[in-house]
């Protein structure tokens, strides 16, 4: 059956995301190779600290993934609500899940004045979708709220928590290695240095490699996070068929966020990666375009302009009347 | 969703399953025999309209198609198709027939489905609902979920706020289990409060 589709995938986004993940994998392989190389060259068995770092990092990542729903809910102070308590919210989620043919996540409300939403959980059965009270009181129309929820449901469908946990593993391990190497230098360095001339070189080398890996993977992970946000925007807009409602919700949410005092925002910063809109804007390095570019590089979310531009493209795609149209790009 | 889709963060829009809808007429007979519920003759298709003129045009076309269909000689008696929008922003196309014309009703509903699918808007279809009532005016609807190709009963209780008659719903499930594909996952038995035509 040759039914035409109006839901063409975004090739550019796919390519950029694949490239980012490829480089992340490359950094990982290079990291392992460099560690082995250093250990072999210095004829040292510092395997223990590497092993401990991997176990600790992996363990921490696994725990945070496994309990991601509980951790996120308690960090946000959110309560799971029943359909009787929040009929409107449940009604929208019910319908979206039926449209997308996915399992319905639990729905929670967080008593925060900052308007935002997030979705988390280790799999579709254990996921939870949380909306802040600020979001519900922002005066969004139902279409706009639906757009926000569709964006969050897309995060669940794309398994973003799992993907970002795996992607973040490298950074965690490298970060731990820096710390371990630093402490062993501090406390055990002198003793070992007496035995072997090479050993004095070992710890600083591991530190250096780890720092580089940490920095590179940090930038790559942030990049990946921005692409996943764009992908969630895209899937969410296609699901509801109302890209402009999502765009106006984005505008309202980020507009009202900048008016709210910083104190609240800083508290929410660690959760930022899973939020609908970034909780805290990074300090802008100057007014020039270069400063903006630097801030964008470290941001977990794409700029508002970029997100709205993409949604405008989707809108055009959905309304394309030329037969066999494949969309704009 | 495949592994690659997860990795690349994309969702394929789910295409609706249309064929199982035709099992409805025989199920209606079964329902009348076992529980005394007869079709009220009202059926509806619920979909999420896409913003913009293209979709509005298609919707208008479908409506005109059904209206002319109904007014032809020997047709269903010229009852027009109603269009309403519910509070969630979903559009309902309601087709009204005589209560013994479930076949024609299903054909009408199918015409709406295929018009949307042919124009590439299949993923926007949410559900179809056919209303039933028994002699004591209890209301019940059979809801068809397009994305899963399954049915489930939805029976709102009269006058007690948003309460469902779960006992009746499970009864219907028992009666129709052999004739219709009933949705096995009860969490997907979505409540449709204030659905038009019910």
To the query of whether residue A309 is one of the catalytic residues in this protein, the response is no
Distance from CA of B68 to the nearest CA of A (A): 25
Chain B residue numbers touching A24 (CB-CB < 8 A) = none
Please state, as a whole number, how many other Cβ atoms lie within 10 Å of the Cβ of residue A93. Answer: 24
Interstrand relation of B38-47 and A117-120 (parallel, antiparallel or unpaired): unpaired
Q: State the best of B11, B129, B186 to mutate against chain A, taking most chain A CBs within 10 Å.
A: B11
| Cβ-defined contacts of A181-184 (< 8 Å, 24+) | A181/A49, A181/A206, A181/A207, A181/A210, A182/A207, A184/A49
Nearest-CA neighbor of B12 among B151, B91, B122? B122
Average pLDDT of the residues in B151-179: 87
Q: Map out the domains of chain A with their CATH numbers.
A: 11-71+161-318 (no CATH), 76-157 (3.30.2010.10)
Q: Give chain A's radius of gyration (CA, Å).
A: 23
Check residue A188 and give its pLDDT.
56
Asked if residue B11 lies in contact with residue B5, where contact means CB atoms within 8 angstroms, the answer is yes
B53–chain A Cβ distance below 8 A for any pair = yes
What is the predicted pLDDT for the residue at A185? 63
Q: Mutation target for A interface from B6, B7, B10, B12: give the one with most A CBs within 10 A.
A: B10
Percentage of chain B surpassing pLDDT 70? 93
Query: How far apart are alpha carbons B145 and B150 in whole angstroms?
Result: 6
Scanning chain A, the segments in alpha helix (DSSP H) are 11-41, 47-66, 68-76, 87-100, 133-136, 142-157, 160-195, 199-240, 243-257, 262-268, 289-297, 304-318
Number of CB pairs < 8 Å for A and B? 122
pLDDT band at residue A237, thresholds of 50, 70 and 90? very high
- The phi, psi pair for A144, rounded to 5°, reads -70, -45
Instruction: State the average pLDDT for chain B.
Output: 85
pLDDT in tens, A57-110: 888 888 888 888 888 888 888 899 998 899 999 999 999 999 988 899 999 999
User: In sequence order, which ranges of B72-187 are alpha helices (DSSP H)?
Assistant: 102-118, 166-176
Q: What is the DSSP letter of A37?
A: H
How far is the C-alpha of A62 from the C-alpha of B106, rounded, in Å? Answer: 51
Contacts of A234 in chain B (CB under 8 A): 10
pLDDT in tens, B32-86: 999 999 999 889 999 998 988 888 888 888 888 777 765 544 444 556 788 888 8
Sheet of strand A79-80: strand arrangement = A79-80, A106-110, A128-132, A117-120
The token duo for A67 is 């309990």
Query: Nearest-5° angle of CA B176, CA B177, CA B181?
Result: 100
- Maximal CA-CA distance, chain A: 78
Catalytic residue selected from A152, A185, A229, A263: A152
B63: contact with A, CB 8 A cutoff: no
pTM for the complete prediction?
A: 0.82
Q: What is the mean pLDDT of residues B104-121?
A: 86
Report, as an integer, the average pLDDT of B124-145.
91
Q: Give the closest-approach CA distance of A26 to chain B in angstroms.
A: 16
* Domain residue ranges of chain B, discontinuous segments joined by +: 16-188
Question: Are the CB atoms for A110 and A132 separated by under 8 Å?
Answer: yes
The answer to whether B6 and A124 have CB atoms below 8 angstroms apart is no
Q: What is this model's ipTM? A: 0.86
* A191 has a pLDDT exceeding 60: no
Which chain B residues are closer than 8 Å to A320 by Cβ?
54
What is the pLDDT confidence band of residue A245, given thresholds at 50, 70 and 90? Answer: very high
């Amino acid at each position: 059956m040759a039914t035409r589709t109006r839901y063409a995938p975004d090739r550019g986004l796919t390519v950029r995301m694949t490239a980012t993940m490829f480089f992340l994998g490359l950094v990982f392989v290079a990291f392992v190779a460099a560690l082995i190389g250093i250990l072999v060259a210095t004829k040292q068995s510092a395997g223990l600290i590497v092993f401990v770092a991997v176990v600790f990092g992996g363990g921490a990542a696994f725990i945070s993934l496994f309990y991601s729903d509980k951790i996120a809910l308690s960090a946000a102070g959110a309560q799971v609500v029943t359909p009787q308590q929040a009929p409107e919210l449940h009604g929208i989620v019910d319908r979206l899940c039926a449209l997308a043919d996915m399992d319905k996540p639990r729905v929670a409300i967080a008593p925060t004045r900052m308007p935002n939403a997030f979705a988390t959980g280790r799999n579709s059965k254990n996921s939870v979708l949380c909306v802040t009270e600020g979001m519900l009181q922002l005066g969004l129309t139902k279409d706009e709220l639906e757009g926000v929820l569709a964006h969050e449901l897309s995060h669940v469908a794309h398994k973003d928590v799992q993907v970002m946990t795996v992607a973040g593993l490298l950074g965690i391990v490298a970060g731990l290695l820096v710390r371990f190497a630093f402490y062993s230098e501090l406390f055990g360095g002198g003793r070992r240095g007496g035995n072997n001339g090479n050993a004095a070189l070992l710890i600083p080398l591991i530190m250096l490699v780890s720092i580089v890996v940490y920095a590179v993977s940090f930038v790559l992970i942030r990049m990946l996070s921005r692409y996943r946000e764009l992908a969630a925007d895209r899937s969410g807009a296609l699901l509801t068929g109302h890209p402009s409602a999502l765009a106006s919700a984005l505008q309202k949410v980020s507009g009202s966020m900048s008016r709210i005092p910083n104190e609240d925002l800083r508290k929410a910063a660690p959760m930022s990666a899973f939020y609908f809109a970034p909780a805290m804007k990074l300090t802008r390095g100057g007014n020039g375009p270069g400063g903006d570019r630097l801030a964008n590089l470290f941001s977990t979310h794409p700029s508002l302009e970029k997100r709205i531009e993409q949604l405008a493209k989707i809108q055009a795609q959905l309304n394309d009347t030329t037969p066999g149209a494949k969309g704009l790009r | 969703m495949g592994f690659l889709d997860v990795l690349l963060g994309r969702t394929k829009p789910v295409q609706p399953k249309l064929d199982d809808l035709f099992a409805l007429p025989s199920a209606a007979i079964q329902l009348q025999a076992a529980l005394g519920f007869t079709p009220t003759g009202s059926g509806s298709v619920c979909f999420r309209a896409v913003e913009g003129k293209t979709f509005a045009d298609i919707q208008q076309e479908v409506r005109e198609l059904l209206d002319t269909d109904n007014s032809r000689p020997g047709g269903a008696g010229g009852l027009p198709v109603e269009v309403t929008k519910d509070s969630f922003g979903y559009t309902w196309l309601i087709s009204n027939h005589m209560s013994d014309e479930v076949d024609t009703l299903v054909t009408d509903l199918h015409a709406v489905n295929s018009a949307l699918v042919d124009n590439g808007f299949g993923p926007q279809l949410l559900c179809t609902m056919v209303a039933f009532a028994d002699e004591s005016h209890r209301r019940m609807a059979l809801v068809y979920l397009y994305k899963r190709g399954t049915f489930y009963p939805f029976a709102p209780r009269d006058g007690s706020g948003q309460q469902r008659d779960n006992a009746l719903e499970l009864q219907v499930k028992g009666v129709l289990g052999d004739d219709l594909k009933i949705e096995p996952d009860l969490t997907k038995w979505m409540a449709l409060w204030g659905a038009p035509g019910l």
